[in-house]
Amino acid sequence: MTSGADWGARVGAIWAAEWERTERAFAHIAKVLDEAIISIAPENGRAADVGCGVGSTALALAAARPGLCVTGLDLAAPLAAIARSRAALLARHTLGRDDGDRGVDFLVGDAAALLPTLAPLDLIVSRHGVMFFDAPVTSFTSMARAARPGAPLVFSCFRTREENDWAAALDAALGVSPPCTGAYAPGPFGLADRALTENVLAAAGWVDATATRHDVRYVVGAGDDPIADALAFFRRIGPAAAVLAAAAPDERAAIERRIEAALAPRIRDGAVAFTAAIWVWVARAGEPS
């Protein structure tokens, strides 16, 4: 379980240190999500990227829709700081501007609290940033209230850990069987259950919700030693990180050997790759009740 409080502290700092590896892993998720977003994004108005991390989705949207004013929201200040420098770098390279203004900005805080300050929004997007709410109906309601009636919400999230072979491989290497309660728990698989997410969206005032399955490449290691690179990634990001950090040295070494053994068969073309099994959800804000 990873909650908002974790993101605002330890986990956010780790993601900031590892952002280039997470970007590589999420590159194919970005491709399908960005296509879905661009196919529905208005030319003008205001959009928010919830749980924007280092800003990739917000930046892609701002580049594709120069008339749209895009704001990324994230609990983790170190991630928002990287997002701001990426925006400034892009502005310098593509627009020759030094003021960092690409029609995109980034705010630090809880999305549910910040969204009302941006209303009315014409589009809300998120790449894997909406599965960590402590009270999902409350947070999705805040999103719906901040959106103009009819405005689209487009987000991605993981499907079940069993469908995500990288997570299943780690679970097997760690020797854990994740709880299968069917109840919501904030974390990477918090919105894996389609019916649960459908109910959350409906209760929060979102209508016409559709979910599309995608199975995309998930690269976790590359370079001179792809297995060492993948192990370095999993030591810090994802379900193995906490277990490895808590393990005694000899136990940690044994777990790492098992993880390496699970990674070895996945090397193709110089990279360790798995499949990310995801949903891309699209819904529209209902009329206020």
Ligand X SMILES: C[S@@+](CC[C@H](N)C(=O)[O-])C[C@H]1O[C@@H](n2cnc3c(N)ncnc32)[C@H](O)[C@@H]1O
> Which residues are near ligand X by CB under 6 A?
4, 7, 12, 22, 26, 51-53, 56-57, 73-76, 79, 110-111, 127-129, 132-133
* Least distance (Å) between residue 233 CB and ligand X: 14
* Least distance (Å) between residue 208 CB and ligand X: 24
Closest CB to ligand X among residues 163, 260: 163
Which is nearest to 283 in space by CA: 199, 208, 194?
Answer: 208
Closest CB to ligand X among residues 86, 128: 128
* Least distance (Å) between residue 249 CB and ligand X: 29
Separation between Cα atoms, residue 73 and residue 109, nearest integer Å: 7
Give every CB contact of residue 79 below 8 A, 6+ residues apart in sequence. 12, 15, 16, 19, 52, 53, 54
How far, in Å, are 23, 133, 257, 267 from residue 58 at the CA level?
Answer: 14, 20, 38, 32
* Least distance (Å) between residue 8 CB and ligand X: 7
Separation between Cα atoms, residue 57 and residue 47, nearest integer Å: 11
DSSP H helix total and E strand total for the chain = 12, 8
* Least distance (Å) between residue 188 CB and ligand X: 7
- Listed in order, strand segments (DSSP E) in the chain are 45-50, 68-74, 104-108, 123-127, 152-158, 206-221, 267-268, 271-285
Closest CB to ligand X among residues 56, 164: 56
Closest CB to ligand X among residues 34, 122: 34
* Least distance (Å) between residue 129 CB and ligand X: 4
Separation between Cα atoms, residue 229 and residue 32, nearest integer Å: 25
Closest CB to ligand X among residues 83, 227: 83
**Structure tokens belonging to residue 105:** 């900005």
Closest CB to ligand X among residues 132, 274: 132
145 near 271, Cβ under 8 Å? no
Closest CB to ligand X among residues 186, 221: 186
Burial of 159 (0-12, 13-18, 19+ CB in 10 A): buried
* Least distance (Å) between residue 174 CB and ligand X: 20
